[in-house]
Copies of this chain bind each other. A is one copy, B any other.
Amino acid sequence: MQHFWLSILSGLSLQLVLPCKAEEGLEFPNFDGKDRVLDINERNYKKALKRYDLLCLFYHEPVPANKGLQKRFQMTELVLELTAQVLEDKDIGFGMVDSQKDAKVATKLGLEEVGSVYVFKDDRVIEFDGELSADTLVEFLLDVLEDPVEIINNAMELRAFERMEEDIRLIGYFKGEDSYFKAFQEASERFQPYIKFFATFEKSVAKHLSLKMNEVNFYEPFMEEPAILPGRPLSEMDIIEFVNQHRRATLRKLRAENMFEIWEDDMDGIHIVAFAEEEDPDGYGFLEVLKDVARDNTNNPELSIVWIDPDDFPLLTTYWEKTFKLDLFRPQIGVVNVTDADSVWLDMSNDEDLPTAEDLEDWIEDVLSGKVNTEDDDEFADDQEDDHYVLEDSDESPGPDEEDDEDD
């Protein structure tokens, strides 16, 4: 590890407490300067795998020659060091794998995406492709430490389960911890912590969910009714295949823990992106309309809308406002080209009311058919500051030709 930099930067905490507080009980950790992150190589990787409950490896490009990039690299090391310090008592090992120097080890360990963090738990590998901050990584690792299947015992816990509409969830009804439950548990380990698995052994809970014995329900985010996995009892592979086929949701919320993974999973190079603050009355209303649209179109495999709550990403909000030329104090929906971040947005600025589900569906149809796209208007780029698509409003205008709809 880069001792020099670490000692310069010791005293860093990504969150700072000031020494003048007299009260105790809220002390954010400061990096104590102790090296905890291993330099993984051919000699030590097997030992490291054996030694810890979890092994967390950052797979990185060779340390750059450029000074600016070097500093950035050292800050990443520091994020790992602080994470290791915070989780010191949890039996988690931390290490760095250089994609060039340690290419052989990387191959043996199956590391593929440079810039990702890989977590080894028992005989599984879990990829973390989220925001590389100590907060997000600590929360992720604590989630990985928990049991992959959570048991629902009573009506109160069932209510908690039913409130988690943002998550992909599965729930199975089993007699007890028998072989069918074990198959479900084995499957759950493949998706932990991204997809949540629940089980119940209680008849009353199963009845409320209309679950038969050994049956498993799959809940897509924001949908009211679950899908029932075909067949029962189900093998581990039955469950894994079903989840793999259905995991790209019609409406999915961007989260820090897997934001890059979601962004890479684009639809032919584009994302339909909706910005809406759930805590804001406007944003809440828009989100409800969006959920209706998603419910109506849940069987369309071409459609997947990424919902971003700006409140979850304060540091990105103004970046998005600049890049997409948007006001994020209001809800917005648009199409983003992920290669160049070019975008076109539905114009909602003149409306007192938000678009209806029907309006949105018309617009989405135009996006999917290619009628609304990020390229068409680039030749007129000088004429207009940003790209907006205006909804046809039959009440106010005498009905322009369809061809005019795309212009601002």
Contact = CB atoms under 8 A, between A and B. Distances in A.
How many monomers of this chain does the complex have? 2
B132 A18 contact: yes
Contact of A24 (B133, B150, B341): B341
Given A71-B10, A71-B11, A142-B314, A319 B27 contact: yes
A170 interface: no
Contacts of A22: 339
Contacts of A19: 61, 69, 115
Given A23-B264, A115-B21, A317-B142, A133 B284 contact: no
Contacts of A152: 281
Contact of A315 (B134, B163, B319): B134
B338 A25 contact: yes
A280 interface: yes
A9 B12 CA distance: 11
Nearest to A12: B75
A13 interface: yes
B71 A160 contact: no
B16 A61 contact: no
B139 A311 contact: yes
Given A19-B69, A115-B21, A263-B25, A315 B284 contact: no
B138 A315 contact: yes
Contact of A279 (B14, B114, B135, B164): B164
Interface residues of A, number: 92
Interface stretch (A45-53, A85-93, A243-251, A381-389): A85-93
Interface string A322-345: 110000010000001011110000
Interface of A: 8-30, 60-61, 68-72, 75-76, 79, 82, 86-90, 113-115, 131-136, 138-139, 142, 146, 150, 152, 154, 156-157, 159-161, 163-164, 259-260, 263-264, 266, 271, 279-285, 288, 311, 314-319, 321-323, 329, 336, 338-341
